[in-house]
Amino acid sequence: MKMAIIGAAGGLGSTTAFCVGQSGLMEEIKMIDIKKNVVETHVMDLYQGLLDDTHTRFTMADYEDVDDCDFIVITASVPYNPAVTDRSANLKLNYDIVASICENLKGHIKPGAYLITGTNPIEIYTYAYYKLLGLEKSHVIGFCTPDLIRMKWAIEEITGIPYASIDAWCLGEHGKAVRLYDQATVDGKPLVLTEEQKATVEKMNVEWFAHWQSCKSGRTTTWTSSVHITKLVKAIVSDSKEKYPAATVLEGEFGLCNVAMDMICIFGKNGIEEIVDPGLTEAQKEDLRVTAERLMNMERQIGLLG
């Protein structure tokens, strides 16, 4: 199988090339970016770095080379700005990049290819790729796993319950997730948190992001995200039917449409094969409705929705 990464000179694109390369899942990873000199050095570096482990080929590529790719991962973005406090701050600027990538990709997408997008705000561009490229919705995947990681991390920190035994879910919008405390479990049994503990989980998530921004590092969460993008790819390639969070286009699920939102998804050879119904409470349904309104307003701002 082959993968193209668009935005491959950047932090998330290059680390994804490394993690997917190391997994040995791909015969070739084609790297595309407007920063051609930086891509070239990543290609040289990754190929030799992984020779001991895999023989994945890394190549500098352009859009005509995407024709035979089974996966297209898109992480292209305007440069990171530490002053930004909201993941949707670059909505219009990144949409211009997304729209230009769609123009370039037209006629170069292999039938049945999967598209995974990491660029923020991910729900908007998941919907944009679906609409502008006419791909099957099950093959357009928005990457949002960090919300779930940080929810489980915070629960482990305050309760001591091991991360790996917690099953919990975040829905809605990356960075402003609706955390499903009522449905969370530990080793299959209900996880009961006090209102105070839930408030602490919420606070820790806000403070974590504020801390990150305050470091003014110029970096995004490239390692966390590349490791978990690789898990999605693996689940599809191995047809594992595992559950992972992802932004997916909604066509009436939970009464929502004209929008992509973060959901619990079953992954297999058909991409997102099922959206799991977690048995939402009325309050959670209302939170999701409000999230959908916020996302659709963003779609209107960039002309994706009339």
Ligand X SMILES: NC(=O)c1ccc[n+]([C@@H]2O[C@H](COP(=O)([O-])OP(=O)(O)OC[C@H]3O[C@@H](n4cnc5c(N)ncnc54)[C@H](O)[C@@H]3O)[C@@H](O)[C@H]2O)c1
Q: Write the single-letter amino acid at 66.
A: V
When binding is defined by CB under 6 A, the residue of 2, 3, 4, 7 that contacts ligand X is: 7
Q: Write the single-letter amino acid at 109.
A: I
Encoded tokens for 184: 């969370």
Asked if 46 touches ligand X (CB under 6 A), the answer is no
Nearest distance from residue 188's CB to ligand X, in Å?
28
Q: Which of 13/268 has CB closer to ligand X?
A: 13
Asked if 174 touches ligand X (CB under 6 A), the answer is yes
Asked if 120 touches ligand X (CB under 6 A), the answer is yes
Asked if 222 touches ligand X (CB under 6 A), the answer is yes
- Kindly determine how many residues on this chain lie close enough to bind ligand X according to the rule CB under 6 A: 31
Instruction: Give 141-194 as a DSSP string.
Output: EE--HHHHHHHHHHHHHHH---GGGEE--EEBSTTS-EE-GGG-EETTEE----
Between CA 235 and CA 25 the distance in angstroms is 11
Is the separation of the CB atoms in 112 and 69 below 8 Å? no
Nearest distance from residue 226's CB to ligand X, in Å?
9
When binding is defined by CB under 6 A, the residue of 3, 4, 12, 141 that contacts ligand X is: 12
Q: Tokens 């920063």 label which residue?
A: 35
Contacts of residue 207, defined as CB under 8 A and 6 or more positions apart, other chains included, come to none
Q: Dihedral sign for Cα 51, 53, 59, 64, please.
A: positive
Q: Which of 109/191 has CB closer to ligand X?
A: 109
Stretch that binds ligand X, among 11-19, 156-164, 232-240, 276-284 (CB under 6 A): 11-19
Between CA 120 and CA 233 the distance in angstroms is 19
Which helix or strand (DSSP H or E) is residue 39 part of? Answer: helix 36-49
Q: Of all residues in this chain, which one has the CB nearest to ligand X in the complex?
A: 10
When binding is defined by CB under 6 A, the residue of 2, 3, 11, 237 that contacts ligand X is: 11
Taking the CB of residue 299, how many other CB atoms lie within 10 A of it? 21
Query: For the purposes of burial, counting CB atoms within 10 Å of the CB of 16, is it exposed (0-12), middle (13-18) or buried (19 or more)?
Result: buried
When binding is defined by CB under 6 A, the residue of 2, 3, 5, 10 that contacts ligand X is: 10
Asked if 80 touches ligand X (CB under 6 A), the answer is yes
Nearest distance from residue 55's CB to ligand X, in Å?
26
Asked if 184 touches ligand X (CB under 6 A), the answer is no
When binding is defined by CB under 6 A, the residue of 13, 21, 172, 271 that contacts ligand X is: 13
Stretch that binds ligand X, among 19-27, 141-149, 190-198, 270-278 (CB under 6 A): 141-149
Binding residues for ligand X, per CB under 6 A? 6-7, 9-13, 32-35, 75-77, 79-80, 97, 100-101, 118-120, 122, 143-144, 146, 174, 220-222, 225
